[in-house]
Structure 1
Amino acid sequence: MGKQFWVALLLGAAVLAGLNGFGPGAGAAGKDEGAPPGLRDVVSRKGLPLNIGAAVGTAFYGGPDSQTYREVLKRQFNMVVCENEMKFENIQPLPGYFDFEKGDALLAFAAANGMKMRGHTLIWHQQNPLWLMQGSWTRETLLAVMREHIQTVMRHYRGRIAEWDVANECIDDGPGHGLRKTVWAEVIGPDYLDWAFRYAREADPDALLFYNDYGAEPENAKSDAVYRLVKGMKQRGVPIDGVGLQCHFHNDELGPAQLAAIAGNIKRFTELGLKVAVTELDIRIRKPAAARDYAVQAENYRQMIRLFRSNPDCSTFMMWGFSDRYSWIPQFFTDCDDALILDRNFEPKPAYAALRGELER
């Protein structure tokens, strides 16, 4: 790595050293008037057209850290999204029965604290109720289920949720990267995505509608498939507004070539007239972590926000959580951890300093 890399790390360390009293013990999560500004304050002060936010998990709704969790959340971010609470199995667990309690609670918190909210997600192949997965459907009856679900949920939140991940992870990882085999694709057919977006637009004409996926961040075979998918939708007049790039990365994979490939990919999507959002960013570190790993992670976060902000059609930058205490990573990547910008005690890591330092530029 070159001289510029290490200079950037030293500058990030200097910023981090100035974050005295950030953590909950000092009240800087949201109550202490002498606390350093949160990320959202930097965005506001600099006049940046940027939604910066995080996924919100179970700690928001209760538990020993709930108050600290909420204080950090409202201090740092201007946008939130439910990690799981608005997925199909949670929001419509029984046919025709909709449970909006947890989504409503987060939305009320967001509104009270001047934050926007994203909706995640309406159509996915996972976290669906058994009645949906085991039902005997025809094309017509399943289209009716899809329409009822999308429009009931979106009309409930109409005018109050800024962006929706209408469809999530619909491209297969296997050879050819065709449409994933799901109940939607197999019963309705390949046009199910067109209908999902049309139903969504009917329900809330003002919300931005996104297709969201992982592994399609750089220019590669999977992102080529996503590009073909959304280009075709645009050509057919389907009301899609943007592409969400999840951005779940390993700390070692974000070198200059990969970053250039991500930049090129973002450019080709925006040239279709689409917005691009970073929807689920985290950068995991292989265990056991050393000081150098956290320095590299900090530089990776800095490079991602810099790359993203370089394109005017990119205005939403979301992380999949904010504290390593409540990250999904250890459960799914057992050899990795520490993927977020705050540690298990809600204290800032070098990644936080790098991210904030880049916003201050």
Structure 2
Amino acid sequence: MKIRQALSILFISLFVLSCSKSDEAEEVVAGVPSAYAAAKLTNDGFTANWTRVYHADKYLVDVSTKADFSTFLPNYNALSVTALTVDISGLTAGVSYYYRVRAVRGALISAFSNVITAEILSTGPEPTTALKDVANFNVGMIVRSSKLTGQTSDIILREFDNITSEYEMKMDKMYPSNGTYDFVAVDKIVKYATDNNLNLHGHALIWHNATPDWVTKFSGTNAEFETMVKGYITTVVTRYKGKIKSWDVVNEAVEDGSNTLRNSIFRQKMGDDYIKKCYQWARDADPACKLFYNDYNFASNAGKRAAIFKIADDLKVNNLIDGLGAQMHISYKSPAASDIQAVVNGTVSRNLLMHFSELDIQANPDNNMTTLTPERAIEQKNKYKEVVKIFNAIPKANQYALTVWGLRDSESWLISFWGHADWPLMYNDDYSAKKAHTGFLEGLK
């Protein structure tokens, strides 16, 4: 009995010690607060907020106009706060402020939190400096043949020097029935580009989601199918030789999840080497044309990124590819800059051209807003800035273009695709520039 009691006491003692050590470890780990993005932004202030620290007595808040906190705002140098928020007021519109927080427990003071940037809202319109006048690379915009007039055209000609057809240069539009081509829309876009000295990027010859029904239900032999595809690519590329100076030959060939080749009708009929065949036919039709492979989730999925690079490596052996298109359909909070940089590093190391091909940045990916708030507009602006800054730093020899996938928010494909409100682009419906446009400009500095 005594032995049993002794063992029980020993067990309880060990349990208490382990809990005590766990609590101490938690205190050490959790001792530094994490600052959140600034809230309630106005034209003269914002609310700083941060996480609770276990057993903290109070918090010390610093606010500065310098990221290194070499100077402090009056009254905001180690301001003592017992709550988890504090209103910062009396600030200047259009100026960026920085804040950080420390936790205090008795005589102990924690290390500094992360630094948060708070941009005080400007009182006037966003700057309208033309992007192409500042950028050292081609700045692109998508177009539709029916919208090459009015204010849309005015902005395109003012801001951009590169255009891409949104959907009218895909197989289902250009080759609607066997033996019958429809180039009316493409010819209009080509003429617009030629008349206005715009570079025109072709998008996209082969894409599983833009395959006409007669192709998906092709009744001939596999050899006849291959002959048909060769004729289609040859006809299109030859028709616009010297006018369309680059093409996305194959688009989105990597399957999500498995990161293997998507089992499209082209793979089924032509085999695993269908991609190589398509690029060879495009190269033969216009040897001077720059040939790209284009795909999404290039940055956000490391496995898919590896699969895309393998496609590029296989094509490069035979000089059948010139560049990679990374569709930048991203959100204000992801992917991380390091993941975007990984796309660039892999492309540049292969001596290929880099095209950020379809940039839009969701402001409402979680569908938790009904209007674009000032805070979210600034977070979106900062993501635009981050993306442009990364592209701007690419060696000139590897830069192709950075193309934005849409002009005004209400025209974005994302609205119907996700079925809820979002504001992913750089212009409001009245054609006024948003903070996202300012972020693009800031990324060029």
TM-score, length of structure 2 as denominator length: 0.70
Partner of residue 248 from structure 1, selected from 321, 329, 339: 329
RMSD (Å), alpha carbons: 2.3
User: What does 1:76-115 align with in structure 2 at a 5 Å threshold?
Assistant: 76-115=159-198
Q: CA deviation at 1:300?
A: 0.4
Paired residue for 1:272? 350
Asked if 1:315 corresponds to 2:400, the answer is yes
Range that drifts further, 144-153 or 330-339: 330-339
Deviations 1:322-361 (A, max 9, x none): 11131111101123411001111111000101212333x2
Q: Distance in 2 between matches of 1:55 and 1:13?
A: 30
Shift of 1:145: 1.2
**Conserved in 2, the CA contact under 8 Å of 1:89 and 1:127?**
yes
CA offset digits 1:78-101 (Å, max 9, x no partner): 011110111101111111211111
The question of whether the paired residues in 2 share the 8 Å contact of 1:171 and 1:225 is answered with yes
Q: Is the 8 A contact 1:285 1:336 kept in 2?
A: no
The structure 1 residue matched to 2:207, chosen from 107, 117, 124, is 124
List 4+ stretches of structure 1 deviating above 6 A. Answer: 8-13
Q: What letter is aligned with 1:42?
A: V
Distance 1:127 1:193, change over 3 A: same
Identity %: 27
Contact 1:87 / 1:127 at 8 angstroms: preserved in 2? yes
SS across alignment from 2:208:
coil
Q: 1:138 Cα shift? A: 2.7
Distance 1:93 1:37 in 2: 41
Displacement of 1:285: 1.5
Distance 2:426 2:183 in 1: 30
2:144 partner amino acid: G
Amino acid at match of 2:359: L
The question of 1:51 aligning with 2:138 is answered yes
Aligned equivalents of 1:42, 1:162: Cα separation in 2: 23
Which residue in 2 is equivalent to 1:155? 238
Is the counterpart of residue 285 in structure 1 residue 363 in structure 2?
Answer: yes
Bigger Rg over Cα: 2
Which one-letter code corresponds to 1:187 in the other structure?
A: K
In 1, Cα distance between the equivalents of 2:123 and 2:141?
A: 22
- Residue 321 of structure 1 aligns with an amino acid whose one-letter code is G
CA–CA separation in structure 2 for the residues paired with 1:347 and 1:158? 36
In the alignment, the residues of structure 1 paired with residue 345 and residue 239 of structure 2 have an alpha-carbon distance, to the nearest angstrom, of: 34
Asked if the contact 1:155/1:203 (under 8 Å) is kept, the reply is yes
Q: Residue in 1 aligned with 2:426?
A: 341
Query: For structure 2, which runs of at least 5 residues remain unmatched after alignment?
Result: 1-36, 39-65, 68-94, 99-116
Alignment deviations for residues 129-182 of structure 1 (CA, whole Å, 9 cap, x no partner):
1111111243321211111111111111101112110000000002x3110011
User: Contact between 1:55 and 1:319, CA under 8 Å: does it hold in 2?
Assistant: yes
> How far does residue 14 in structure 1 lie from its aligned partner after superposition?
5.8
Q: Which residue of 1 aligns with 2:341?
A: 263
Do the aligned residues in 1 keep the contact of 2:247 with 2:289 (CA within 8 Å)?
A: yes
The CA deviation string for residues 117-140 of structure 1, in whole angstroms up to 9 with x for no partner, is 000000010121111111124332
The one-letter code sitting in structure 2 at the alignment partner of 1:159 is G
**Unaligned runs of at least 5 residues, structure 1:** 20-35
Once the two structures are TM-superposed, the CA of residue 7 in structure 1 deviates from its matched residue by 5.3
Does the 8 A contact of 1:54 with 1:81 survive in 2?
Answer: yes
Residue correspondence of structure 1 range 165-180 to structure 2 within 5 A: 165-174=248-257, 176-180=258-262
Q: How many residues are treated as equivalent by the alignment?
A: 330
* 2:106 alignment counterpart: none
Question: What is the DSSP-based 3-state SS (H/G/I as helix, E as strand, rest coil) of the residue aligned with 2:402?
Answer: strand
Q: Find 1:41's aligned residue among 133, 142, 159.
A: 133
Q: Deviations over 1:166-216 (max 9, x none)?
A: 000000002x31100111001110000000000001111111100000011
- The equivalent position to 2:286 in structure 1, one of 204, 215, 219, is 204
- Counterpart of 1:260, as a letter, is S
- Report 1 or 2 for greater relative contact order, CA contacts < 8 Å, sequence distance ≥ 6: 1
User: How far apart in 2 are the matches of 1:190 and 1:219?
Assistant: 22
* SS of corresponding position for 1:223: helix
Residue aligning to 2:385: 302
